[in-house]
Amino acid sequence: MGDSSVATVNRALAQLNVNRDAKRLVVAIDFGTTYSGIAYCFPDLPPDGKLTAIRKWPGTHVQAAKVPTIVKYDKNDWGKYEWGTLLKSAEDHIVGIKLLLDPSQKLPWHVPPTDLDATMKLLPPFKTPKNVATDFMRSLKAHGMSQIATNLAQDALDLFQVEYVMSVPAVWSDAAKNATLEAAKAAGISPVTLIKEPEAAALYSIRQLDAFLTPGDVIVICDAGGGTVDLISYEIEKASPSLELREIVPGTGDTVGSIALNRRFKAVLEALIPSDRWQKFKDSRAMVKASQQFENEIKLEFSGDLNEEFYVDLPGADLEDIPEKGLLGNEWKMTGRDVKAIFDPVIADILHLIQHQVQAVQREGKAVRAIFLVGGFGSSEYLRKEVERVHEGIKVAQPDDAWAAIAKGAALSKMPDNAVVTSVSAVRHYGVECGAMYDKVIDKGQPSYYGRFTGERMAHRMSWHITIGDNIKRNDKIRLGFYRHLPENFTANDAVFKSTLYDCVDENAPIHRSKSRNVKVNCVLYADVSNVPLSKFSKRTRKHSQALVSKRAGFPSETDDQAETYWEVTYDLVICFDSAVMKFSMELDGETLGSVEARFEQ
């Protein structure tokens, strides 16, 4: 770097009050259903690392904490696309792509499946939802880094070790989280870790109340975004020198975000406008303008006052006047009652989720001190009033810059001495299917088989190693014991053991996999011991297994005296829980050896 470049770097660093000792730059990405945002900080610069949210976006002079999560591909060249605020037309753009990353999530009644079907039809013929997510993330990251470079100077940016953190819904399946990671890495977002959205929101929000919180206090974080609403409850374990929190009950959530309001608004318009005119209107400029007005004005301003009036412009719609419905001169007068009817079913779902969390905390013998509403929908005045109405006596807070709370909290999670979540509460049962000695009572009606090595009658049963509500310390090791055999002269392929990890969301996990439709494959684990020293295995000799099976079945055998030498392999599959993901490894005799690959399917 030349003298002039050094001077430029020093000026840029001095302007931001960033000293040359700062080595790390954390870039946090909130990839949302309807809007996405970026925040960044310098962890070496306490107390807040110069925490900043990106507010300038391409194609617009309006500054905002987030950009629309939309993509539109060029039908003449599928390799080209526009994203976010660069889109000037709402026609044929892809929205809600994040929801498609987790098809296991059930849609609420007020979100028609046809909406997502229509979205799928807009995907280029060679792209999956994950590919589209990658394209959007790549553009989002490139813009974010260019903004940081503008603020810092590119030469100064090159001095920092950049690490990324992305937020994901708490209720997402592990497969969806893995798909998000893969999409991020394909977009050049690496190294990257994941954090649960409500946890990120908690780390940001709690800074505004930490002086009032004492050990034993419980707070509920309600992250109400565009696609999902997630809730997690935290108990303050330690207040100083820094806050330590633990999840007190399993997090909950549902796909009841504010995108449901947009769809309900569209349904109301369809009911308002005569069917012979709707087909033309729904794809018109007037529909685009009306949707934008609802999104940017009415949703934000509605406070619950039934006397409020909103005038929705329908330019060029050429609609007949229907005075009794408020439709006059290509303008629709929406009353507060009209808007309330759109909001109420969605608000009711959110109130139910909050009530469920509060009651779960109460069953633990605790009381909720505060409810934090964060996210775009969490900024709604009407939502706040309804939560206050239902939960009198509990402080309901909307932190400053609530829309950027997740991105900012995700960045803060990498700050030293910041509030930290020490443990999580399992939201699913996790286990494996294994063979057990057949029991005519327990295994009645279940298929049985004879063990290859023992000749004993066996049946498959579930062995649940983690159950819903288990309090799991960060980075604690949960060990799943396995006992396998290898031929004396085994190959590398022989030395890869396949195991299926299952999960279940039933309150009580079943003994047999066939007893519940909610027992799902979480992932398939491939444990490779090909490079493990043979000293870690035990050499054994046994009678030929077929002879034992024949003998057990009552048939004469001529091979009882035949012997077979094999290797006995005893190992633990180890699971560690981070904020949002599971990490897998394997141990033999307490030593980490071999490797484990997890493969997820959606």
| Closest by CA position to 580, among listed 289, 196, 263, 63 | 196
Residues pairing with 177 in the sheet = none
% pLDDT > 90, the chain? 56
Question: 216 near 227, Cβ under 8 Å?
Answer: no
Residue 237's CB is within 10 A of a number of other CB atoms, namely 16
Q: How confident is the model at residue 453 (pLDDT cuts 50, 70, 90)?
A: low
Please tell me the predicted confidence (pLDDT) of residue 283: 78
Please tell me the predicted confidence (pLDDT) of residue 329: 82
The tokens describing 236, both together, are 């303050």
| Closest by CA position to 378, among listed 566, 204, 151 | 204
Question: 204 near 409, Cβ under 8 Å?
Answer: yes
Higher pLDDT, 555 or 178: 178
Residue-wise burial string across 574-583, b where 16 or more C-beta atoms lie within 10 A, e elsewhere: bbbbebbbbe
Question: 504 near 512, Cβ under 8 Å?
Answer: no
The pTM for the full model equals 0.83
Say which CATH topology domain 3-196 has. Nucleotidyltransferase; domain 5 (3.30.420)
For the ranges 6-20, 197-211, 233-247, the maximum mean pLDDT occurs at 233-247
% pLDDT > 70, the chain? 88
Please tell me the predicted confidence (pLDDT) of residue 57: 96
The tokens describing 197, both together, are 């959205």
601 residue type, one letter: E
Residue-wise burial string across 212-225, b where 16 or more C-beta atoms lie within 10 A, e elsewhere: ebeeebbbbbbbbb
Residue 283: strand, helix, or coil: coil
Q: How far apart are CA 515 and CA 127, in angstroms?
A: 37
556 pLDDT more than 50: no
Please tell me the predicted confidence (pLDDT) of residue 154: 64
**pLDDT tens digits, one per residue of 258-284:** 888 998 999 998 888 888 888 888 878
**pLDDT tens digits, one per residue of 34-92:** 899 999 998 887 767 789 999 999 998 989 999 999 999 988 888 889 999 998 766 77
Q: How far apart are CA 149 and CA 157, in angstroms?
A: 6
- Sequence ranges of the chain with CATH classification 3.30.420: 3-196
